[in-house]
Structure 1
Amino acid sequence: MRTRKGAARNQAKNRLFKRAKGFRGGRGSLIRSVKETLLRSGAYAFRDRRVRKREFRKLWIIRINAAVKMHDLRYSEFIYGLKKANIGLDRKSLSEMAIYDPAGFKDVCDKVKETLAAA
């Protein structure tokens, strides 16, 4: 008797259903809808991995700007001064420093101010 991938097909379907767990309605229980939804979700995941990078950078810039304003500087001046002073801290570490190590951030701001005054 001829077989038509019975076990293999069921395993494949179960893998898809497992990935679609938690989806609402037919999107999580009907194989055709599940396939379409998983394709779309993969596209969203691919796109949003890039969007997440942009969003975090925006967040770091907002935090740095807020912290820098307390030290009478503008964000653009601060970044320019960092480059002039050869301080190689990235935006992520600067925003963390502004939150968790205000004294260290103040030292960085003072160094930037000195560099800007000399230039």
Structure 2
Amino acid sequence: MPRVKKAVKSRRRRKKVLDMAKGYRGGRGKLLRTAKETVERGLQFAYRDRRAKKRDFRSLWIVRINAAARMHGMSYSQFMNGLKKADVAIDRKVLAGLAVSDPEAFARLARIAKEAA
């Protein structure tokens, strides 16, 4: 069996880690071991926060909808319950966008929710 030199593969593997560590300060961006630890940790944060981002945005939308609903004399839960009873199927992202950018449309939805509740 022929002798295999692993320089190409190992260099590529090290380079991949160091490229991901680009921009890190000091040894974290230059030294393989510390760069590998830092990159690994960063990837763990990225994985976790891709999920946390969804929760954060949903709660932001709820806060915005609640604020807009209270301007029309309803709580968030009353507003959402009224929309559900009126068979209005608009998700929270769109409702929050309407609350911020188009208050007249949100006011019409609030009237519909009030009538249905």
The CA deviation at 1:38 is 1.4
Map residues 25-44 of structure 1 onto 2, 5 A cutoff.
25-44=26-45
Secondary structure of 2:24 counterpart: coil
The CA deviation at 1:3 is 6.0
* Counterpart Cα distance in 2 of 1:58 and 1:88: 19
Q: Are 1:90 and 2:95 an aligned pair?
A: no
TM-score of the two chains, using structure 1 as the length reference:
0.90
Deviations 1:53-100 (A, max 9, x none): 000001001100111111111111111111111110111000001111
The CA deviation at 1:11 is 2.1
Deviations 1:31-63 (A, max 9, x none): 011111111111111111110000000100110
Q: Are 1:103 and 2:89 an aligned pair?
A: no
Long gaps (5+) in structure 2 = none
Q: Are 1:62 and 2:63 an aligned pair?
A: yes
Relative contact order (C-alpha < 8 Å, sep 6+): which is higher?
2
* Counterpart Cα distance in 1 of 2:21 and 2:83: 47
Q: Percent identity of the aligned residues?
A: 46
* Counterpart Cα distance in 1 of 2:102 and 2:40: 44
Secondary structure of 1:49 counterpart: helix
Structural RMSD (CA): 1.3
